[in-house]
Chain A
Amino acid sequence: MTAPLVIVHLYGRRMNIYGDIGNVLALRRRLEWRGIGLRAVAVDEGDDFDFEEADIVVAGGGEDASQQAIAADLVERGPAVHRAVTAGVVFLTVCGTYQLFGRRFVTADGSEIPGIGVFGAETFGGGSRMIGNVVVDTPWGELVGFENHSGRTRLDPGQAALGQVRRGHGNDGESGAEGAIIGNCLGTYLHGSVLPKNPALADDLIRRALVRRGDAGPGLGALDDAVERRAAESAASRP
């Protein structure tokens, strides 16, 4: 192993509403347990940062006011984020930042928060909140998490979803789609936090980052995930 993996927590000060810090912690521990070095970087509004220096970027959800507060900063970073996504930097965006990685978020009162259009998706606020434990069928197997959002995210034709909801609402409560993925950039409504309970996804994010750097080597060593599996099963069994 050469240089440590750079894990970026984007907007961690404002967009952290549902235990999103757990995603950073999951990556950190799973790297530590394998003896892989890492450097954690916090990037908030106004901070100077080149996303192409990142290996994995994690961003979470926030209250409406927080989302509005970071929106302008994100738009400013838009071209840099697009370059990083094209370069294969791994992104995991959850809830509020997932929405802003789409083209726009139209709130219930009709005002519009511009997004950066990484995903071919738009979000419309309003209607009842979609709250509860979610089970999603995905290429990583069954993912479980908790959703709590009123925004309905509609994917463009051709924009791949992360998976199909087996239980819960997903993007819009109608299409059955949950989340979005383009290259190494993932978006989802699952929190809880999502990575600790879904180690296959956490490890795949790490693997993608290592492959991009040409450090994949013999692959990631297996870990004992019994506690993780039990937590996922327990969440999947709850309303």
Chain B
Amino acid sequence: MLRIRLAVALARLVGAATRLVGRGGTALPGLVALAVAPRLIERIAAGIEGGVVVVTGTNGKTTTAKMITAMLTGSGRRVVTNRTGSNLARGVAAALVGAWRRGRLAADIAVLEVDEAAVRHLGPALQPRVIVVTNLARDQLDRYGELVTTAGHVGAAVSAAATAVLAADDPMVASLAVDHTRPVAWFGAVAELRAALPDDRALHDTGPTAPSRPVDALLSRADPSGDGTRIAVTVDGAEVGVTIQVPGVYNAYNATAALLAVARLGLDPVASAVHLAAMPPAFGRGQVIEYRGRRVKVVLVKNPASLNQAIRLLSEDRVPRAVLMAINDNHADGRDVSWLWDAEVESLSTTPHRFLAGGVRCADMALRFKYAGIAAPAESDRRRALDALVDESAPGDLVYLVPTYTAMLGFLEILLPHRSREEVWS
């Protein structure tokens, strides 16, 4: 315990120092804590009275974890969570250290988003009370390797969890339950919405479709409503109707997973819906930011499945919009941009929108647009790209920024010049 206290003290000191020099980074305190106390995560996690909820999967982790956190917090629980989306061991350690008060963790329960590769070790270390697996789709292959490998990592974590909350409609996720001896709670959607949920299999054959099975939480409605979505979900037979502030069928799916997760944690999903409704979008996940009189909706993309989700969202918007798609190829984005060719960019050619290509690999995005039959100017300079977005729209208009991860961080420095990243994340 002494080692844990020392680790916490040093990590907090480092955190304070980095904030003083103006770098709101979250990696260093976690790294320091783990260097001093390598077993810090499992030691602290084991002492959390209400247990640990792990959220993992390819897409939707941040939003789903935020939804679960909102409902738990709304019901009076003190929640420790890695809300910055820093989802490797260092980020989890930093979150736990950050909630340390007077020699103990000032939280009743932990909700932790965990990277789908890191979860192989973090899952067993955290011994989750509930693990939520949102989906498993092809992701940055230069970082994650093959999808079956990722499924193996997630499977190891699922085996360590008391209860698994799994996506019934995702064949890869559904296959995780084959040898599972502990309780599984399934969430899914009615066929009509399932069809609207973009996944890898639209383009590729990644094996058989998931077997149909009765689910514990069923999404039956997801209609656009303002900037958000009106959803209807049946959880354990109880009807939940709520308008969430995040767009798209995929987020309705995330909400379904979150409602089922809190139900398994003992909350009443019907009573919790009000807290779900109050939850603002997570960082870059449909968040709207005012910039030079425009309302910029930021929709993060990172792989073909999430780009297809963004494309679906843009296709549903019938009002002509200016859209900036900004593709970077740094390590966190995936250095290989060939995934742009796997997404259904062609379907944007029938929308009324005007497209711009941005980011370090703006030329690749422009090329992808060209072969989809769309003429899109390329501009790698962030400020000039935003100028173009403004020029292509009128005051008061909604415009879209669809960036990869590091592209998003760069654009937010301009869009939110006076705020630190941590404020944005909170």
Contacts and interface: CB of A to CB of B under 8 A. Distances in A.
A228 B371 CA distance: 10
Interface stretch (B109-117, B173-181, B185-193, B331-339): B331-339
A13 B200 CA distance: 11
B363 A233 contact: yes
Contacts of A13: 204-205
B393 to A, nearest CB: 24
Interface string B147-190: 11000000000000000000000000000000000000000000
Interface string A107-131: 0000000000000000000000001
Contacts of B329: 238
Contacts of B338: 18-19, 22, 146, 191-193
Interface in B316-373: 329, 335-342, 360-364, 366-368, 370-371
A230 to B, nearest CB: 4
A65 B367 CA distance: 31
B366 A231 contact: yes
A57 B339 CA distance: 21
Nearest to A15: B204
Contacts of B146: 63-65
Contacts of A132: 335
Given A14-B205, A196-B371, A230 B378 contact: yes
A231 B205 CA distance: 29
B203 interface: yes
Contacts, number: 91
A65 B362 CA distance: 33
Nearest to A131: B142
Contacts of B337: 146, 192, 235
Contacts of B147: 63
A197 interface: yes
Given A25-B371, A146-B336, A196-B341, A235 B142 contact: no
B242 to A, nearest CB: 38
Contact of A17 (B141, B361, B371): B141
Interface string A18-46: 11111001100100000000000000100
Interface in B125-145: 138, 141-142
A231 B364 contact: yes
B141 A18 contact: yes
A16 B148 CA distance: 15
A227 interface: yes
Interface string B238-253: 0000000000000000
Interface residues of A, number: 35
A239 B336 contact: no
Given A18-B336, A238-B335, A227 B367 contact: yes
Interface in A124-178: 131-133, 146, 148
A166 B4 CA distance: 51
B210 to A, nearest CB: 18
A2 interface: no
B367 A228 contact: yes
A87 to B, nearest CB: 30
A19 B148 CA distance: 18
A22 B369 CA distance: 12
Quick one: which of A19, A65, A235 has the most chain B CB within 10 A?
A19
B141 A148 contact: yes
Nearest to B331: A239
Given A21-B203, A63-B147, A230 B335 contact: no
A16 B340 contact: no
Interface string A191-215: 1110011000000000000000000
A19 B339 contact: yes
B153 to A, nearest CB: 15
Contact of B148 (A20, A63, A146): A63
Nearest to A13: B205
Contacts of A63: 146-148
B381 to A, nearest CB: 14
A211 B147 CA distance: 41
Given A131-B335, A238-B335, A19 B340 contact: yes
18 contacts: A16-B203, A17-B141, A19-B341, A21-B203, A25-B341, A26-B371, A63-B147, A64-B146, A65-B148, A146-B335, A148-B141, A191-B336, A193-B338, A230-B366, A233-B363, A234-B361, A238-B329, A238-B361
Top 3 closest pairs, chain A to chain B, by CB: A19-B341, A19-B338, A22-B341
Given A21-B342, A25-B371, A146-B336, 16 more contacts: A13-B204, A14-B205, A18-B339, A20-B341, A21-B341, A26-B371, A131-B142, A132-B335, A196-B341, A196-B367, A196-B368, A196-B371, A197-B367, A227-B378, A231-B367, A234-B364
Interface of A: 13-14, 16-22, 25-26, 29, 44, 63-65, 131-133, 146, 148, 191-193, 196-197, 227-228, 230-231, 233-235, 238-239
